Structure 1
Amino acid sequence: MNYRLGVDAGGTFTDFVLADDQGRIHLFKATSTPEDGTRAMADGLAQISEKLRLSVAEILGRTTLCVNGTTVGLNALLQHRGVKTGLICTAGHEDSLEIRLGHKEEGYRYDDTYPPAQILVERHLRMPVRERVLSNGTVHTPLDEQDVRAACACFRREGVQAVAVSLLWSVANDRHERRAAEIVREMLPAVYVSVGTEVFPQMREYTRTSTAVLNAYLGPVLGAYVARIDRFFQDSGLRVPVRYFQSNGGMASRAVMVARAVNAINSGPASAPMAGRHVARPLGIEHFITVDMGGTSFDVTLTHQGRTPVTKDNDFLRYRIGTPMIQVESLGAGGGSIGWIDGMGLLNVGPQSAGATPGPACYGRGGTLPTVTDANVVLGYLNPESLLGGRLAIDAAAARQAIATHLAGPLGIPVEKAAYGIFRIVNNNMVNGMRRVSVERGYDPRDFALIGAGGATALHITALAREIGIRTVLVPQLASGLCAFGQILSDVKYDYMAAAPMRLDAHADTAQLEQRFAALERQGVAVLQQEGIPPERIALRRSIDMRYVGQVHECSVDIGTLAVGPATIGTIKTAFHALHKQLFTYDEPDSLIEVVNIGTTVLGQSAAQPPQLQQAPSGGQASRAISTRRRMIFGADSAAIETPVYDAARLGAGDSVAGPAVIEEPTTTIVLQPGWQARLDASGCYVISAQGDAQAHATDAASRSAHARTSCGTRG
């Protein structure tokens, strides 16, 4: 028996998904230990060992793939706990990080009260060096190496732990930048070095500098984490290298992850679309929005026609990142988000979070502030005694006390009304995030299904769907560990980029573009082969950043494996016109087009996916699965309704549950608001519909389930 292990280390819980050769999928959760992630991992492995009745060494010895998604980079950036960083830049460009292209982020551009971002390199550590490369690659002013050496001497005195090197027009000629980096490595051998043309070798000086600085700021933090995790798994019996999940939606080796630390910033939620495709496929769904509500954050991704957008030049947590990232909308709306009263006497929720320590008041770990989880306990949605199969005790009285003391008392309202207020406000915040990935990007959310991921999502998901107008909701049994599951379904994925400015006129040297693509691909294929991936499992995908001459911003056109040459350039232009019209509602077929950058994604495709089993059929009436009843609140009038609670272990494929109701899975709780109905599909996924739609879709859904051959997980 061989295993695949996905580990998703979140801010509050660390999720473990173990899949074996026979299709059994096991889900475990441990409380995250941000101060030392290996403690949470040891806890999770101990749970796996107890369940399988095998030692940890035996399990890891049979593990052929171990993937770790981490929030270490994200948390270091959120809390500004990266290392002391220096910057070497072209003289006269020391302030590009503060100039930031002359404007604030979208949404705040004209807000004169919005404060500036905290700059990650102090002004006196941004060291100018005399040099100048022109836009055509010719050297106007040779590099003054003494300036570089003086900068290194300053960095040594100041105790700098990482240095970013980003020089003007290095994408046209990187000789000065690489020589400067050589000097830094020679004089400061213990310092982490981040080179702009290695991290983001494309046009845009500010974006390249910002990305290089972020990479330097986080590199030593991620390096220490990766070394600790590698050592832990090796000492525990793992025989294969640990893979790490990147924000571009693919896996990476330890060496690549440390060198490209910036790619770890959004590591966790980037795997959700892969798992979402797996969940939606047996149901014939290609358009879906994945929502992941954990203990700290709420993450949203949109997939249209089976494809999830990957973007560059993102402003993430107020910092510009040029490297490709899965398009994720993140906000501070998790189960640990704290309810508070502002200066105007209005109730707010988040973005502050109780996190894993001390956590919500109901966890009994010292937390006293009211959170979303506490509100769900007061509303009756969560088991008032324990969660996670009894491993997490719940103190319902502490939840009521926290809300009474900090919210209900000061507002002069009942505890139940304050709890429902928390529920409604956090839902509104989450719906706004869903609108940003759909409505604000030209998609009608009513055309999409909603897929729930994360431990807390299913408590809110029918309320969210009702608010935004979505009629079909999917909650897999593995919902609370869906990102960890997505990791073991993913491929190794590396992005190689280059600046390639060229007007596509009659004199365009398309052969040069093809040569540049071929060079990138040789580089990527060589790296994958060094990692032991055979040629038959290596795939390539090309893209070209293009724009009309005179435009400021470009569009990234995916050309697949199309060769660039006179015979194909017309097809590429047509694809650009079509994309431009889709994004901006117009195109200009008679206008001249220019290429700005090119990129190749190199994929090391995973071996055959684990065999998958279907959900066992129903053993009878779903009502037999009712384990208890609780009084629950579903409206602002605070009226409590006696509501059935279903034990998910007693449900089988085909069983239907009508709301209001609660279905308790081992690691998640599904709340069906009045007017919604859930059916457990043969693929191991709850298909939830507004009750008016449920009957109409019953025949079609049964037909799809009969032919389904994939699974989103069976209970292990």
Structure 2
Amino acid sequence: IIGEVAPGVRVSLSSEVVPEIREYERTSTTVVNVYVQALVEDYLAELVRRLADLRVGGELLLMLSSGGISTVETASRFPLRLLESGPAGGALASAYFGQLANVNDLLAFDMGGTTAKLCVIEDGRPLTSTEFEVDRKYRFKKGSGLPVKVPVVELIEIGAGGGSVARLDSLGLLKVGPHSAGADLLGYLDPGFFLGGRLALDRDATERAVASKIAEPLGMSTTQAAWGIHQLVNESMAGAARVHAIERGKDPRSLPLFAFGGAGPGHAFGVARILHSPRIIVPFGAGVTAAVGFLTAPLAFDFVRSFVSELDDGADWQHINGLLGDMAAQGDAILARSGIPSDGRRITRQADLRYVGQGHEIRVDLPDGLLGPASLPTIRASFETLYRALFGRTGPDVALEAVSWRLLASGPRPSVKLVGGASSSTQTAVKGARAVYFPEWSEHRQVPVYDRYLLAPGAAFDGPAIVEERESTTVIGPGARAEVDAARNLSVWL
């Protein structure tokens, strides 16, 4: 009807965007979808046209917030699924590089110039959620933002990055971020090699600004003020990481910190020390790691249907199996249209479960095949394992209740092969030295600077040291030991 009355008007139906219960979340999510739909549709249409003009072969695919990739057609209908898709690529890359380093559980730390993101990787996969919030009033407080119900890699984002602005607030307290700028006074960055030498840092101007705006009002040296700025950012990152990990039943002290992004490797040592992490892992090409994650993402489509049912012998198993079967048929058809052969298609099923009487659910993997009373012990065991991991105990001896049924239809995960670079000994990889400050010292001291491109697998050295590559710089403090593994990851043991 709307198409006839007002052709060209974008329409989003909540029954298509969020086909599950809870009306407020359905409304807010559908509004977000239609709000950005015109912009995304027009942008993607223009992008497809330009690629055709340039005679670029292949099909344009887009990263989704869930960690899969989608066609232009699906992304144009459901543009809200592109939200947080960039950071999702970083989470996938963290899982990929972690597996190369034989580490399946880790904490991914992505820090750029304006923000930082953290994500827990468990059993080689990023943790995911079915909802996230935008525009939170209180950054760590659930419920203080606008809910968007869409499959998404679970991330926590902090408005402080490598170029965040430091200032004194009305109480004379040091604050960093969320406004952004860029510079460095601790010697961690080479002003002449920033972005491979394509962008220069004005150290003198930065020193004057920090001295007049921060150091002098606080009665401290410029170096002390610069360290305070750096450490305040580290504390902010570590606090967010601790909250994010503990809320998901993880002890951050047991998780290696996988650091990437332009500024992540520069702050990882400080963050890991605060968290008491055992190890830092920095991938080769850390500044563009998220792009590698895009290459590891499979073609994937998410489906959900709400059907509240107590799971017992009297449940309507026929209806439940019908819902799952319908979603599987839809997913299989989409994968077939996308050119995925039948032997490459994968169906994963889950249910949002809770104890009867509770108000919130957790997602549980479902066994293969038709579900029925015989499936209940397996489903309950999976639920209680997750429940115990999250809350430290199981609930009362009452029945389980399902709220929504979910299905992921995906294609094969692309095979990515990394190409090795130049090899060299540890000594010939040293490109020089420069004065660097660490809090263990009362002054700047000379430390070796290594060329990341010349560090071959097997290279090892002790901190303090600086490791430079074009898009990022890794800071290794005193007392640490660094090693390069077979995949050219730089592991730093604290």
With normalisation by structure 1, the TM-score equals 0.65
Which of these residues, 209, 217, 220, is aligned with residue 413 of structure 1? 220
| 1:679 matches 2:483 | yes
Which of these residues, 597, 601, 622, is aligned with residue 404 of structure 2? 597
SS in 2 for 1:192: coil
- Pairwise CA distance, 1:245: 0.8
C-alpha spacing 1:405/1:256, structure 2 compared with 1 (3 Å) = farther
Residues of 2 paired with 1:441 and 1:649: CA distance? 37
SS in 2 for 1:501: strand
SS in 1 for 2:34: helix
SS in 2 for 1:439: helix
Q: Where does residue 449 of structure 2 map in the other structure?
A: 645
Q: Where does residue 141 of structure 2 map in the other structure?
A: none
- Pairwise CA distance, 1:637: 6.6
Preserved CA contact (<8 Å) 1:615 1:681? no
Residues of 1 paired with 2:45 and 2:212: CA distance? 44
* AA aligned opposite 2:77: A
The superposition leaves residues 606-660 of structure 1 with CA deviations (integer Å, 9 ceiling, x where unpaired) of 44x143445665x43x233222211111118751111111122332221112111
C-alpha spacing 1:390/1:522, structure 2 compared with 1 (3 Å) = same
Share of identical aligned residues, percent?
A: 33
Preserved CA contact (<8 Å) 2:367 2:375? no
Preserved CA contact (<8 Å) 1:385 1:394? yes
Q: Where does residue 670 of structure 1 map in the other structure?
A: 474
Residues of 2 paired with 1:251 and 1:314: CA distance? 19
| 1:327 matches 2:131 | no
SS in 1 for 2:457: coil
Which of these residues, 486, 492, 505, is aligned with residue 312 of structure 2? 505
Q: Where does residue 628 of structure 1 map in the other structure?
A: 432
Q: Where does residue 443 of structure 1 map in the other structure?
A: 250
- Pairwise CA distance, 1:273: 2.7
* AA aligned opposite 1:563: L
Number of corresponding residues? 485
Q: Where does residue 115 of structure 2 map in the other structure?
A: 297
Preserved CA contact (<8 Å) 1:577 1:589? no
- Pairwise CA distance, 1:560: 5.2
SS in 1 for 2:327: helix
SS in 1 for 2:446: strand
Which of these residues, 2, 14, 22, is aligned with residue 204 of structure 1? 22
- Pairwise CA distance, 1:278: 1.9
Give the number of the structure whose alpha-carbon radius of gyration is greater. Answer: 1
Preserved CA contact (<8 Å) 1:540 1:561? no
List aligned pairs for 1:6-85, cutoff 5 A: none
Residues of 2 paired with 1:670 and 1:345: CA distance? 32
Q: Where does residue 247 of structure 1 map in the other structure?
A: 65
Preserved CA contact (<8 Å) 1:661 1:672? yes
Q: Where does residue 381 of structure 2 map in the other structure?
A: 574
Preserved CA contact (<8 Å) 1:296 1:335? yes
* AA aligned opposite 1:327: E
Q: Where does residue 217 of structure 1 map in the other structure?
A: 35
Which of these residues, 111, 125, 136, is aligned with residue 307 of structure 1? 125
* AA aligned opposite 1:196: S
- Pairwise CA distance, 1:425: 0.5
Preserved CA contact (<8 Å) 2:249 2:391? no
Residues of 1 paired with 2:330 and 2:188: CA distance? 53
Residues of 1 paired with 2:354 and 2:36: CA distance? 33
- Pairwise CA distance, 1:468: 0.4
| 1:399 matches 2:206 | yes
| 1:530 matches 2:334 | no
Which of these residues, 384, 390, 400, is aligned with residue 191 of structure 2? 384
SS in 2 for 1:230: helix
Preserved CA contact (<8 Å) 1:616 1:682? no
| 1:456 matches 2:253 | no
Preserved CA contact (<8 Å) 1:546 1:557? yes
The superposition leaves residues 333-391 of structure 1 with CA deviations (integer Å, 9 ceiling, x where unpaired) of 1122111110001110012224xxxxx3xxxxxxxxxxxxx1xx211110121322222
C-alpha spacing 1:689/1:507, structure 2 compared with 1 (3 Å) = same
Preserved CA contact (<8 Å) 2:422 2:453? no
- Pairwise CA distance, 1:604: 1.9
C-alpha spacing 1:655/1:585, structure 2 compared with 1 (3 Å) = closer
- Pairwise CA distance, 1:324: 1.5
C-alpha spacing 1:305/1:412, structure 2 compared with 1 (3 Å) = same
* AA aligned opposite 1:489: T
Residues of 2 paired with 1:386 and 1:478: CA distance? 15
Residues of 2 paired with 1:353 and 1:186: CA distance? 47
Preserved CA contact (<8 Å) 1:614 1:682? no
- Pairwise CA distance, 1:242: 1.4
* AA aligned opposite 2:80: V
* AA aligned opposite 1:631: A
Q: Where does residue 316 of structure 1 map in the other structure?
A: 134
List aligned pairs for 1:107-506, cutoff 5 A: 183-317=1-135, 318-354=145-181, 360=182, 374=183, 377-506=184-313
Preserved CA contact (<8 Å) 1:542 1:559? yes
- Pairwise CA distance, 1:596: 1.0
C-alpha spacing 1:433/1:663, structure 2 compared with 1 (3 Å) = same
Residues of 2 paired with 1:638 and 1:244: CA distance? 50
Q: Where does residue 131 of structure 1 map in the other structure?
A: none
C-alpha spacing 1:647/1:188, structure 2 compared with 1 (3 Å) = same
C-alpha spacing 1:687/1:588, structure 2 compared with 1 (3 Å) = closer
The superposition leaves residues 9-43 of structure 1 with CA deviations (integer Å, 9 ceiling, x where unpaired) of xxxxxxxxxxxxxxxxxxxxxxxxxxxxxxxxxxx
Residues of 1 paired with 2:369 and 2:232: CA distance? 48
Q: Unaligned regions of 5+ residues in structure 2, if any?
A: 136-144
C-alpha spacing 1:250/1:335, structure 2 compared with 1 (3 Å) = same
* AA aligned opposite 1:623: Q
Q: Where does residue 352 of structure 2 map in the other structure?
A: 545
SS in 1 for 2:187: coil
- Pairwise CA distance, 1:548: 1.9
Residues of 2 paired with 1:232 and 1:678: CA distance? 45
* AA aligned opposite 1:628: G
Residues of 1 paired with 2:152 and 2:417: CA distance? 30
Residues of 1 paired with 2:146 and 2:417: CA distance? 42
C-alpha spacing 1:560/1:657, structure 2 compared with 1 (3 Å) = farther
- Pairwise CA distance, 1:592: 2.1
Preserved CA contact (<8 Å) 1:615 1:682? no
- Pairwise CA distance, 1:326: 0.8
Residues of 2 paired with 1:259 and 1:488: CA distance? 23
List aligned pairs for 1:683-702, cutoff 5 A: 683-690=487-494
Preserved CA contact (<8 Å) 1:332 1:353? no
* AA aligned opposite 1:201: P
Q: Unaligned regions of 5+ residues in structure 1, if any?
A: 1-182, 355-359, 361-373, 691-716
- Pairwise CA distance, 1:301: 0.5
Residues of 2 paired with 1:387 and 1:635: CA distance? 24
The superposition leaves residues 468-513 of structure 1 with CA deviations (integer Å, 9 ceiling, x where unpaired) of 0011111011211111101101101211010112222332121211
Residues of 2 paired with 1:610 and 1:586: CA distance? 40
Pairwise CA RMSD of aligned residues?
Answer: 1.9
C-alpha spacing 1:506/1:473, structure 2 compared with 1 (3 Å) = same
- State which drifts further: 295-304 or 393-402: 393-402
